Structure 1
Amino acid sequence: MHRLFCASSVLFFVLNLWTHSAFCQTNYSFELADIDRGRLSSPEQSRERLIAIPMSALSSDEREYYQYLSAYFLTFDGDLDAVITEYSALLEITKNADIRIRTLSSLINLLGAKKQWQEGFYRVEELLALLQKYPESTYRPAAYIALALIYKQINQPETALHFAERALSLEDIDLFHKCLSMEVKLDSIVSLDYKQLVLSDFTETDAVCNAADLDYELVNIAIWKIKWLKQQARYQEALNVVELTLVQTEKFRQDSQLIDLYNEYASLYLALKQYDKAQQYAELVAGFDNIDSFVGDKIKMYDVLRQIAEVKQDFNQAYYYLNEKLALEKSMFESKLANEMAIQKAWFEVDAKQSQIELLDKQNDLLKTESQLTTEQLENSLLALSLVSLLLATLLFWSFRSRKVQAKLRYYAHTDGLTKIANRGFFTESVESLLSQAQKNNNAVSLILLDLDHFKNINDTYGHQVGDWALIQVAATIRDSVTENAIVGRLGGEEFGVALMVQDSSVGLRIAEECRQAIDNIDTNKSGYNFKLTVSAGVGCSSHAGYKLDNLYAAADLALYQSKQYGRNRVYEYSASMAS
Structure 2
Amino acid sequence: MGTAGRIFRRCRPAIALFALAAHAGTVLAQLAPGEDATATLAWADANKTSDHRDFLETLTRLGNDSGKLTAAQLAHLRYLEAWQVAYAGDYDDAAPLLEAVVGGSPDKVLRFRATATLINILGIAHRYQEAFSRLTELTDMLPGITDPQARLQGLGEAAQMLATAGQYELAADYAERMIQSTPTGDSACKGTFIKLHALYLGKKIDGSDARYTKGIADCEAADENLIANSLRADVAETAIHDRRPHDAIDLLEKRYPAVLRDSYPSLISQVESLLAQAYWDAGNAEAAGKYANAAVKSAPGGDASEPLAAALRTLYLIARERGDFQTAMRWLERYMQADKGYLDDVSARALAYQMVKQQVVSSHMEADALDRQNQILHLQREVDRRAMETSRLYIVLLLTVLATIALWLVRTKRSQLRFMRMARRDSLTGICNRQHFVERAQQALLAAQKAGRPSCLILFDLDHFKLVNDTYGHSEGDWVLLRVVAECRDHLLQEDVFGRLGGEEFAILLPGTDEAKGSERAEAIRGAIAAPPPDGPSSAHVTASFGVACTALHGVELDRLLIVADEALYRAKEAGRDRVVVATSTEPVPAKETPMPVAPSPHLRMARP
**TM (normalized to structure 1)?**
0.57
Correspondence 1:256-275 to 2 at 5 A? 256-275=266-285
| Separation of aligned partners in 2, 1:561 and 1:374 | 53
Q: Within 2, Cα distance between the matches of 1:152 and 1:210?
A: 24
Match of 1:495 in 2: 411
Gap runs ≥5 in structure 1? 15-27, 378-400, 425-488, 498-536, 539-553, 567-573
2:229/2:259 contact within 8 Å kept: yes
Aligned-pair distance for 1:188?
A: 0.6
> Which residue is equivalent to 2:309?
299
State the partner residue of 1:172. Answer: 183
Q: 1:232 to 1:361 in 2, by over 3 A?
A: same
Identify the residue that residue 361 of structure 1 maps to in structure 2. Answer: 371
- Report the Cα offset of residue 69 of structure 1: 3.2
Q: 1:32 aligns with which of 17, 32, 38?
A: 38
- Give 1:82's aligned residue: 96
- Residue type at the aligned position of 1:244: K
Task: Confirm or deny that 1:204 pairs with 2:214.
Answer: yes
Amino acid at match of 1:491: W
Give the Cα separation in 2 of the matches to 1:238 and 1:183: 19
TM-superposed deviation, 1:336:
4.3
Task: Assess, with a 3 A threshold, how the Cα gap between structure 1 residues 116 and 136 changes in structure 2: closer, same or farther.
Answer: same
What pairs with 1:491-570 in structure 2 (closer than 5 Å)?
491=408, 495=411, 558-559=420-421
Bigger relative contact order, structure 1 or 2, given CA contacts below 8 A and separation 6+?
2
Instruction: Write the letter of the residue equivalent to 1:37.
Output: W
Of 414, 419, 423, 2:399 maps to 414
Aligned ranges 1:263-342 → 2 under 5 Å: 263-286=273-296, 293=303, 295-312=305-322, 317-342=327-352
For 1:125-204, what aligned pairs fall within 5 Å after superposition?
125-134=136-145, 139-170=150-181, 172=183, 175=186, 178-193=188-203, 195=205, 198-204=208-214
**Contact 1:183/1:205 (<8 A) preserved:** yes
2:492 corresponds in structure 1 to none
Q: Is the aligned partner of 1:215 residue 2:225?
A: yes
- Stretches of structure 2 that go unaligned for 5 or more consecutive residues are 18-33, 48-53, 429-435, 441-500, 502-609
Query: How far, CA to CA, are the matches of 1:407 and 1:575 in structure 2?
Result: 53
Q: Which amino acid aligns with 2:162?
A: Y
CA distance in structure 2 between the aligned counterparts of 1:278 and 1:116, rounded to whole angstroms: 34
Provide the residue aligned with 1:436 in structure 2.
none
Q: List aligned pairs for 1:393-404, cutoff 5 A.
A: 401=388
CA contact (8 A) 1:269 1:275 kept: yes
2:77 corresponds to 1:69: yes
Whether contact under 8 Å (1:10, 1:109) holds in the other structure is no
Contact 1:266 1:279 in 2 (8 A): yes
Q: What is the letter of the counterpart of residue 411 of structure 2?
A: E
Q: Is the Cα contact below 8 Å between 1:68 and 1:90 reproduced in 2? A: no
For 2:236 and 2:325, how far apart are their aligned partners in 1? Answer: 31
**Distance in 1, Cα, partners of 2:394 & 2:7:** 55
Cα offsets for 1:482-511 (capped at 9, x unmatched): xxxxxxx5126x9288xxxxxxxxxxxxxx
Q: Which amino acid aligns with 1:414?
A: L
Displacement after TM superposition at 1:71 (Å): 3.0
For residues 557 and 408 of structure 1, do their structure 2 counterparts lie closer, same or farther at Cα, with a shift above 3 Å needed? farther
CA 1:575 to 1:407, structure 2 compared with 1: closer, same or farther past 3 Å?
Answer: farther
Q: Please, what is the CA RMSD of the aligned residues?
A: 4.3
For each residue in 1:320-340, what CA deviation from the matched residue of structure 2 results, as whole angstroms up to 9, or x when unmatched?
A: 443332233334444444455
Q: Does the CA-based 8 Å contact 1:266-1:280 persist in structure 2?
A: yes
CA distance in 2, matches of 1:144, 1:153: 15
* 1:6 shift after superposition: 5.8
Q: CA deviation at 1:145?
A: 1.2
Distance of aligned partners of 1:329 and 1:170 in 2 relative to their CA distance in 1, 3 Å threshold: closer
One-letter amino acid matched to 2:43: R
Q: Distance in 1 between matches of 2:321 and 2:43?
A: 57
Distance 2:111 2:296 in 1: 45
Aligned to 1:238: 248
1:65–1:111 Cα change, 3 Å:
farther
Q: Distance in 2 between matches of 1:196 and 1:261?
A: 17
Distance 1:196 1:208 in 2: 19
Equivalences for 1:361-440 in 2 at 5 Å? Answer: 361-377=371-387, 401=388, 405-416=390-401, 422-424=403-405
What is aligned with 2:522?
A: none
In the other structure, the counterpart of 1:251 is 261
> Cα deviations across residues 315-366 of structure 1 (Å, max 9, x unaligned)?
5554444333223333444444445544444444444433332221121122
- State how far apart, in whole Å, the 2-side matches of 1:225 and 1:277 are: 20
Change (3 A) 1:195 1:142: closer
Alpha-carbon spacing, 1:45–1:359, altered in 2? closer, same or farther (3 Å)? same
Aligned residue for 1:205, secondary structure, equals helix
1:363 is paired with a residue whose SS is helix
Task: Give SS of 1:375's match.
Answer: coil
Tell me by how many angstroms 1:45 deviates: 3.6
Question: Bigger CA drift: 239-248 or 296-305?
Answer: 296-305
**Residue type of the partner of 1:70?**
R
| Aligned 8 A contact 1:71 1:86 in 2 | no
**1:281-318: CA deviations, max 9, x gaps?**
43444565967645433322332233344545555554
Q: Distance in 1 between matches of 2:362 and 2:214?
A: 43
Relative distance call for 1:251 and 1:359 in structure 2 (3 A) is same
Q: Does the aligned pair in 2 maintain the 1:282–1:304 contact within 8 Å?
A: yes
Q: Aligned partners of 1:347 and 1:413: how far apart in 2?
A: 27
Report what 2:238 is aligned to. 228
Q: Does the CA contact (< 8 Å) of 1:35 and 1:50 recur in 2?
A: no
- Report the TM-score when normalising by structure 2: 0.55
| Deviation, structure 1 residue 198 | 3.6
Pair 376,167 (structure 1): closer, same or farther in 2 beyond 3 Å? same
- Could you say what secondary structure the match of 1:415 adopts? helix
Separation in 2, partners of 1:30, 1:562? 65
Structure 2 vs 1, CA of residues 86 and 237 (structure 1 numbering), >3 Å: closer, same or farther?
A: same
**Structure that is richer in helix per residue:** 1
